[in-house]
Structure 1
Amino acid sequence: MSNDKEITGFLKKVPLLSRLSTGHLRAIAKSCTERSFVAGDTILRQGNPGVGLFIITSGKVKVQKENDDGTVFEIATHTAGEVVGEMSVLDGAARSASVIALEDTATLVLPSWAFNAFLQSHPEVALEILPIVVHRFRETNNALIHMQSSQR
């Protein structure tokens, strides 16, 4: 994406950000950088610090979690318009899962500091994003419960 206007237009279609005003999206777009990955690349690694959230503009990724005994569970797959890495950006904790590119993938990276500064200056935005983050968290919990019960 070549300019802030294109990025803003794309961000309007991202479910996590879709409730935000055009002005808010423009402010977010200014902080985003583009980053590309080839199939097989680790985009985010479980246990690493959350330095930003990644908005997928093209491609496909899988989210996987490794438990204490080394067993790896695939939790979800995500495609263009979806966001990964938002949990550790919001809570400041280490990455709770890894994200691997399943095919060549392009992303917009919004640094943690920029997203958190934006939320501090626009606290009403947190109320718009919260229901979507909670929904994703519930989906992840359900997937983990299903995987654990299928192992028994």
Structure 2
Amino acid sequence: MNTVQHLRVVGHPLPFSEGELEVLLGASTMRRFAPGETLCRQARPATSCFILLSGVVEVAKETDGHERVLTELSEGAIAGQLALVDGSLRSATLRAKTDVAALELTRDVFMRLVGASSPLAYRFQMELAVATGRQLREANQRLSALFEARERRATHAASERAVHQQLEDVVGDLDLAFEPFDVIEITPQERVVGHRVADLS
């Protein structure tokens, strides 16, 4: 069984015809990565993209020495596709979360396909546009969630400041020093005193 037939049997997620798959497999390199292995690293020159056949890949970004996972990509996704467009530095690190099988397509080979007016190049460009659009939508959703969370925290902080101010005003009328205290759960047998909990039982 040849590679194309094998991909058909295992139910690969690639939206290409059999002829296009033949060209793609001939133009790309089959790569396999174990969990924890890096497909490409942030800030390194981008010279290829990866078409994921199986497994899960983490997209991680390092900022000020701290790395965080932005999202995960699974089979059928095209990862690092901007390398085929502008050849800029990688904006994130791609790391295998599970065993991963992927096709690696270099920018040089892709540009040769484009220059030869290959139907695969046209189809691939369409898939790149779809994949990029999907990832942009997901990024927008994450940004919206972050802004909403930030606004909720700001509103909560403003509410706490208002409560503290009211308490300070009340205590001020009694001519006592006021120190903000932490909010804790109070049982019928407990009472808040400053930062302490006194058992009244």
Task: Kindly indicate whether the alpha-carbon contact (under 8 Å) linking 1:64 and 1:73 is maintained by their aligned counterparts in 2.
Answer: yes
Q: Gapped runs of 5+ residues in structure 2?
A: 154-201
Tell me which residue corresponds to 2:27.
Answer: 31
Higher Rg of the two aligned structures: 2
Cα deviation, 1:73-103, whole Å, max 9, x if unaligned, reads: 3111122222211122222111111011112
Match of 2:126 in 1: 128
Cα distance, 1:126 vs structure 2: 6.0
SS state at 2:31 partner: strand
Alignment correspondent of 2:136: 137
- C-alpha distance in 2 between matches for 1:86 and 1:118: 15
Residue in structure 2 matching 1:70, options 57, 65, 69: 65
Paired letter, 2:28: C
Quote the Cα distance in structure 2 between the aligned partners of 1:109 and 1:119. 17
Shift of the alpha carbon at 1:135? 2.4
CA contact (8 A) 2:42 2:91 kept: yes
Q: Distance in 2 between matches of 1:150 and 1:139?
A: 17
Q: For the aligned residues, what is the CA RMSD?
A: 2.9
> Which protein has greater RCO, CA pairs closer than 8 Å, 6+ apart?
1
State the secondary structure of the residue aligned to 1:91.
Answer: coil
Q: Which residue of 2 aligns with 1:83?
A: 78
For residue 36 of structure 2, give the secondary structure of its aligned residue in structure 1.
coil
Deviation >3 Å, runs of 4+: 6-12, 20-25, 122-127, 144-152
Equivalences, count: 146
User: Quick check: 1:119–1:126 contact (8 Å CA) kept in 2?
Assistant: no
TM-score by length of 1: 0.75
CA gap of 1:132–1:61, structure 2 versus 1, over 3 A, is closer
CA gap of 1:7–1:118, structure 2 versus 1, over 3 A, is farther
C-alpha contact 2:59 2:71 (8 A) present in aligned 1? yes
> With structure 2 as the length reference, what TM-score do the two structures score?
0.59
Aligned residue type for 2:61: K
- Structure 1 unaligned regions, length at least 5: none
* Aligned-partner Cα distance in 1 for 2:29–2:125: 25
Match of 1:47 in 2: 43
1:66 match: secondary structure: strand
* 1:106 maps to 2:104: no
Would the aligned equivalents of 2:4 and 2:21 in 1 still touch at CA under 8 Å? no
Counterpart residue number, 2:183: none
Q: Are 1:97 and 2:101 matched, yes or no?
A: no
Q: Which residue of 1 aligns with 2:111?
A: 116
